[in-house]
Amino acid sequence: MVFPNFYLLGFAAVIAFERANAVLGEPAYGVTVLSERGGLVLSSAVVRVETQAFDDATYDTVMFSSGVETDVVSAALAAFVRCSLTTSRRIAAPCTGAFILAQAGVLDGRRATTHWPFANDLQRRFPGIAVEEDHVFILDGPIWTSTGMPAMIDMALAMIERDHGQDISRAVARKLVVYHRCAGGQSQFSTLLDLEPKSDRIQKAIDYANANWRNPLTVDELADIACLSPRQFSRAFSAESGQSPAKAVEPLRVEAARLLLDKGRLSLDMIVDEVGFSDASE
């Protein structure tokens, strides 16, 4: 569901469902673009999208766009949101789309998230919502909310995983060239984002570390991945990230352990082994 000045990047989720159809070999998902009045709707990127006016038709999943403004809810749109909550299996909104759900009253008493610059405003204006800005996406009952629009991909992949299993979701992620799907509980302020390496070699070493927690991840091991001598690697890593390889790896391990704890599928001892700590006290 879109409206004037909606963010075009929100359509990234549509691509995930399109790729899921290709992986499954059947049209498991069909997409209908809706708006309040129908016709061409202008995005913030000055690209127009053809839409149908929403009516009494029902849908399995209804996803509400985000946009430049946070006050776009008319009486008709609010009614459509509330109706969708009762007739659809799930509804979702990324970024400022959470304000649409909030203004329609469907987030009262629920947990929700939004892009961090808007979190305080969402909480101030709608105190009945438990706004948790330190999450990529949140599922509370049938309602999904996510942070900035790229997180819409993570949310869509999570939906696909619930519908068709992890193998299908992973296959879709590979087709989208997504390194991995973020868990819903992952912070918007990721340790990986803080490093900001400037060269492909250092980025490759960081990606390797993030996928091989069980390994010791010594300077020698990471230097080999970066195709540098240990001394060259340490010097380059410190220059690009502002910290030594050893100091960078430990917070990454902690973040990985926290994400596994949030999922609740592994015991503490198993998580300790999975991320390469010697014991739980670390």
pLDDT grade for 189, boundaries at 50, 70 and 90:
very low
What is the rounded CA–CA span in Å between residue 253 and residue 182?
Answer: 15
Task: Map residue 245 onto helix, strand or coil.
Answer: helix
pLDDT tens digits, one per residue of 96-113: 999 999 999 999 999 999
What is the rounded CA–CA span in Å between residue 249 and residue 255?
Answer: 10
pLDDT at 60 over 90: yes
Please tell me the predicted confidence (pLDDT) of residue 209: 78
pLDDT at 53 over 90: yes
Task: Map residue 138 onto helix, strand or coil.
Answer: strand
pLDDT grade for 202, boundaries at 50, 70 and 90:
confident
Please tell me the predicted confidence (pLDDT) of residue 91: 96
Mean pLDDT to the nearest integer, 243-260: 75
Residue bearing the bigger pLDDT, 63 or 254 = 63
pLDDT at 187 over 60: no
What is the rounded CA–CA span in Å between residue 95 and residue 10?
Answer: 9
Q: At 53, which helix (H) or strand (E)?
A: strand 48-53
Please tell me the predicted confidence (pLDDT) of residue 77: 94
pLDDT at 181 over 90: no
Please tell me the predicted confidence (pLDDT) of residue 227: 83
Please tell me the predicted confidence (pLDDT) of residue 242: 80
Instruction: Identify the CA nearest to 81 among candidates 102, 66, 95.
Output: 102
Residue bearing the bigger pLDDT, 99 or 155 = 99
Please tell me the predicted confidence (pLDDT) of residue 186: 47
Q: How far is CA 102 from CA 11, 72, 94, 133, 184, in A?
A: 21, 11, 12, 15, 20
The partner residues of 62 in beta bridges, in order of sequence, read 91
Task: Map residue 103 onto helix, strand or coil.
Answer: helix
**Strand pairing of 143-146 and 39-42?**
unpaired
What is the rounded CA–CA span in Å between residue 214 and residue 260?
Answer: 14
pLDDT at 196 over 80: no
pLDDT at 193 over 50: no
pLDDT grade for 170, boundaries at 50, 70 and 90:
confident
Which residue ranges form the domains of the chain, and what is each CATH number? Answer: 8-175 (3.40.50.880), 191-275 (1.10.10.60)
What is the rounded CA–CA span in Å between residue 261 and residue 271?
Answer: 8
What is the rounded CA–CA span in Å between residue 12 and residue 83?
Answer: 25
Range list of β-strands (E), 114-208:
130-131, 137-140, 143-146
Please tell me the predicted confidence (pLDDT) of residue 218: 86
Please tell me the predicted confidence (pLDDT) of residue 185: 47
Task: Map residue 48 onto helix, strand or coil.
Answer: strand
Please tell me the predicted confidence (pLDDT) of residue 251: 73
Mean pLDDT to the nearest integer, 157-176: 88
Please tell me the predicted confidence (pLDDT) of residue 76: 94
pLDDT tens digits, one per residue of 8-28: 887 778 899 999 999 999 999
Q: What is the DSSP string of 77-93?
A: HHHHHHHHHHHSSEEEE
Please tell me the predicted confidence (pLDDT) of residue 261: 67
**Spatial contact of 98 and 122, defined as CB atoms under 8 Å apart:** yes
- The encoded tokens of residue 109 equal 């008493």
pLDDT tens digits, one per residue of 109-131: 999 998 888 889 999 999 999 99
